[in-house]
Amino acid sequence: MSTYDIVSIPKSSLVFEQTVALLEESWPHCYPEKVARQTMEQLIETGIFLVALQGSVLLGMIGAQPQYGKTGWELHPLAVDVNHRFKGIGKALVKALEHAVSNAGGIVMYLGTDDAFDQTSLADSDLFDRPFEKIKAIKNKANHPYTFYEKCGYTIVGVIPDANGFHRPDIIMAKRIAFQSS
């Protein structure tokens, strides 16, 4: 694959329109067109937003917002164009975002990755019963992205049982991205 750049973009650009489309396409049940546009505009205004570009073509995007002063940031959204997955772009975007967030004072990055479609063993039973045991024994049944995040250094630190319906949890993951100087 030829090279690409990871950069930030202004709101008024052709690439911005591609990011709105990628957000809608990746989470059609959450982002009708108008909501997708507002979400992307707000992210560029108040958070950090980066795109992977090959020329003027969008390959992927990632963003984060500060949620606990400037120390704790929520990673969302992350999406790679379906034709360019499994080529290392997602991992490169996460790394670039962590660098930018750490420079902005971030210490921890966290995210929720839903299991709304029975992709992991966490959807098999009631997570109010022995949640930590079940998290420890988690199995990926159908390419759930928690494995991707583990490969980027993130740890499952909890779940929100039933967040997307009965036995449809949100899986909460986090990573320390800055270290205390001794």
Residues making contact with ligand COA (CB under 6 A): 26, 78-80, 85-91, 111, 113, 143, 145, 147-148, 151
* Residue among 126 and 145 whose Cβ is closer to ligand COA: 145
Classified as helix, coil or strand, 144 is coil
Sign of CA dihedral 89, 155, 46, 25: positive
Classified as helix, coil or strand, 162 is coil
* Residue among 141 and 167 whose Cβ is closer to ligand COA: 141
Residue nearest to ligand COA (CB): 90
Q: How far is the CB of 46 from ligand COA (least distance, A)?
A: 20
Contact 141, 115 (CB under 8 A): no
Q: How far is the CB of 113 from ligand COA (least distance, A)?
A: 4
Q: How far is the CB of 166 from ligand COA (least distance, A)?
A: 21
Which residues does 21 contact at the CB level (< 8 Å), separation at least 6? 36
